[in-house]
C-alpha cells in the first residue's frame, strides 16, 4: 500500500482529498536560486545584535512570551512609517500565517477568497485549509492586471477576501495603486477585505508606491509584509501586516495564544534596530536583478520587468530541460509550471554569474 492510499483511508476532509502540499524542491546544490531567499545572509553587526537579544531571553524561557508582542509591533510601526502605530500592526510566524489568520477571521465556510493567477501559489492552499472557497480571476496574456478588469471581476464575483500580490509572484511586476483603489471600491458591496501582499516591496524600483499610502480611510484594506526577504530572515519566520486597528482586533479572535515565541520576537526587534545594515544588501540584489534582466534579453529570452528580488522570463522552448541542465551544473532555479517560462532569484554577483554562464551553456550560446 503506497502512502497516498494510506492517506486516503484516513477520515480526511473531502475538500482536502487529492490536494498536494506546497513545496519547492529542497536540493542541496552550490547555487540555490529557487525560493527567492536573500542569499547575502545577515551582516555581522546585525548577527551579533540578534545573538545578544536571544541570549537575553534565555533566562525567561520558562515563562510565556508577551502575548501582544508590544515592543515588536512598535518597532515594526516605526520601520513602516506612514503615521502607523502599534495599534495598526500585527505579526505572526511568516506572512503565510498572517494570511491564514486573515482568512480564519474573514473567510471560512460559505465565504470566498479571490486571487489573480499566475500569483502566489499559497493563496488557494490557505483558502482550502480554512474552508474558504477560492475564485481564480484572470490576467491579460502578458500576465498584467488592469484596474478596470480587476474591479469588474470583483464586482461580478463579490468575494469576501481579495488577494493582490504586488510585486506579484512569480512575475515580479508591481501593481499600480489605481488597481488597489479600484478593487477596494468594487469590493464595497460584498464588504471585501482587500489584502495587498507586499512581501517583496523593499526591492521595488525607486518611485514605486506602496499600498501603505492608501490605508487612511480604508478599514477593509490590509498590507502584508515579511522579514524573510529584504531582512534575510527567512529562517526566523516573521511576517506582519498594517491595517486599521479593528483588523488586528479581529485577528485576536482567531490567533493561537502566545503564537510568537520570545526568541522570534527578540530576533525581529534586534533586526529592526539594524535595518540599515540589513537593507544595504537590497541595493546589491537589485543590481544583480537588473543585470539578469538585461543579459536574458541579450540571449533572446523575454524577461519581465521586475520589482522583486527575482526575474520571471519567457521564451524558453523546453523549461524542464533547461531546469535540469542548470541543476546538473549545481544551479537550482524554479520551474513555476507556466509554459515556456522559468523564474530565478537574484543572488550575489558570483551566484548570478554562475546562473548566467550555466544558462548560456544550456541554450547553446
Q: Is residue 10 in some structural domain? A: no
Which of 273, 305, 328 is where one domain is finished?
A: 273
What does pTM read for this prediction?
A: 0.95
pLDDT of residue 188: 97
Same domain, residue pair 55 and 193: yes
Burial 330-342 (b: 16+ CB within 10 A, else e): ebbbbbbebeebb
Q: Is residue 17 in some structural domain? A: no
pLDDT of residue 1: 63
Q: What is the CATH number of the domain that holds 190?
A: 3.40.640.10
Which of 245, 273, 301 is where one domain is finished?
A: 273
**Count of domains observed in the chain:** 2
Same domain, residue pair 204 and 315: no
Same domain, residue pair 294 and 229: no
Q: Is residue 11 in some structural domain? A: no
| Each residue's pLDDT tens digit, 211-243 | 999 999 999 999 999 999 999 999 999 999 999
| Each residue's pLDDT tens digit, 258-317 | 999 999 999 999 999 999 988 889 999 999 999 999 999 999 999 999 999 999 999 999
Same domain, residue pair 293 and 219: no
Q: Is residue 14 in some structural domain? A: no
The mean pLDDT value for 139-151 works out to: 96
Q: Is residue 305 in some structural domain? A: yes
Same domain, residue pair 85 and 135: yes
Rounded to whole angstroms, the Cα distance separating 16 from 128 reads 7
Which of 238, 255, 273 is where one domain is finished?
A: 273
Residue 25 has pLDDT above 80, yes or no: no
Name the residue among 299, 303, 300, 313 with its Cα closest to residue 341: 313
Q: Quote the domain boundaries for residue 214.
A: 44-273
Q: What is the edge-to-edge ordering of all strands in the sheet holding 342-345?
A: 302-303, 310-314, 342-345
| Each residue's pLDDT tens digit, 78-100 | 999 999 999 999 999 999 999 99
Q: What is the CATH number of the domain that holds 29?
A: 3.90.1150.10
- Residue 15: pLDDT band (50, 70, 90) is confident
User: Do 269 and 75 touch, CB atoms closer than 8 A?
Assistant: yes
pLDDT of residue 317: 96
Same domain, residue pair 109 and 182: yes
Same domain, residue pair 310 and 197: no
Question: Residue 316 is placed in which grid cell?
Answer: 524558453
Same domain, residue pair 325 and 336: yes
pLDDT of residue 28: 87
Same domain, residue pair 62 and 184: yes
pLDDT of residue 27: 84
Same domain, residue pair 268 and 281: no
Q: Is residue 5 in some structural domain? A: no
| Each residue's pLDDT tens digit, 176-209 | 999 999 999 999 999 999 999 999 999 999 999 9
Same domain, residue pair 284 and 183: no
Q: Is residue 4 in some structural domain? A: no
Question: Residue 61 is placed in which grid cell?
Answer: 524561557
Rounded to whole angstroms, the Cα distance separating 167 from 292 reads 17
- Residue 156: pLDDT band (50, 70, 90) is very high
C-alpha distances in angstroms, 296 versus 288, 290, 355? 12, 10, 11
Same domain, residue pair 122 and 267: yes
Amino acid at each position: 500500500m503506497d502512502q497516498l492510499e494510506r492517506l486516503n483511508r484516513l477520515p480526511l476532509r473531502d475538500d482536502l482529498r487529492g490536494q498536494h502540499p506546497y513545496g519547492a524542491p529542497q536540493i542541496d546544490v552550490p547555487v540555490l536560486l529557487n525560493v527567492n531567499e536573500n542569499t547575502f545572509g545577515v551582516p555581522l553587526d546585525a548577527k551579533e545584535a540578534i545573538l545578544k537579544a536571544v541570549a537575553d531571553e534565555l533566562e525567561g524561557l520558562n515563562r510565556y512570551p508577551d502575548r501582544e508582542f508590544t515592543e515588536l509591533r512598535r518597532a515594526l510601526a516605526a520601520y513602516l512609517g506612514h503615521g502607523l502605530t502599534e495599534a495598526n500592526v500585527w505579526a505572526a510566524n511568516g506572512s503565510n500565517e498572517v494570511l491564514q489568520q486573515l482568512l480564519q477571521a474573514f473567510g471560512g465556510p460559505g465565504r470566498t477568497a479571490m486571487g489573480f493567477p499566475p500569483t502566489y501559489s499559497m493563496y488557494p492552499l490557505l483558502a482550502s485549509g480554512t474552508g474558504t472557497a477560492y475564485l481564480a480571476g484572470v490576467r491579460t496574456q502578458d500576465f498584467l492586471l488592469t484596474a478596470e478588469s480587476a474591479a469588474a471581476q470583483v464586482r461580478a464575483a463579490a468575494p469576501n477576501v481579495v488577494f493582490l500580490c504586488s510585486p506579484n509572484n512569480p512575475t515580479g511586476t508591481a501593481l499600480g495603486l489605481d488597481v488597489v483603489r479600484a478593487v477596494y471600491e468594487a469590493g464595497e458591496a460584498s464588504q471585501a477585505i482587500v489584502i495587498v501582499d507586499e512581501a517583496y516591496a523593499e526591492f521595488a524600483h525607486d518611485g514605486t508606491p506602496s499600498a501603505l499610502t492608501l490605508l487612511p480611510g480604508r478599514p477593509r484594506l490590509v498590507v502584508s509584509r515579511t522579514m524573510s526577504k529584504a531582512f534575510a530572515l527567512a529562517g526566523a519566520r516573521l511576517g506582519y501586516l498594517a491595517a486599521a486597528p479593528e483588523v488586528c482586533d479581529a485577528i485576536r479572535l482567531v490567533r493561537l495564544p502566545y503564537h510568537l515565541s520570545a526568541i522570534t520576537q527578540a530576533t525581529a526587534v534586534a533586526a529592526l534596530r539594524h535595518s540599515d545594515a540589513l537593507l544595504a544588501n537590497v541595493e546589491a540584489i537589485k543590481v544583480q536583478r537588473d543585470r539578469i534582466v538585461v543579459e536574458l534579453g541579450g540571449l533572446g529570452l523575454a524577461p519581465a520587468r521586475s520589482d522583486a528580488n527575482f526575474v520571471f522570463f519567457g521564451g524558453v522552448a523546453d523549461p524542464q530541460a533547461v531546469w535540469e541542465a542548470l541543476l546538473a551544473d549545481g544551479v537550482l532555479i524554479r520551474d513555476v509550471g507556466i509554459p515556456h517560462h522559468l523564474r530565478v532569484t537574484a543572488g550575489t554577483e558570483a551566484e548570478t554569474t554562475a546562473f548566467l554562464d550555466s544558462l548560456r551553456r544550456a541554450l547553446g550560446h
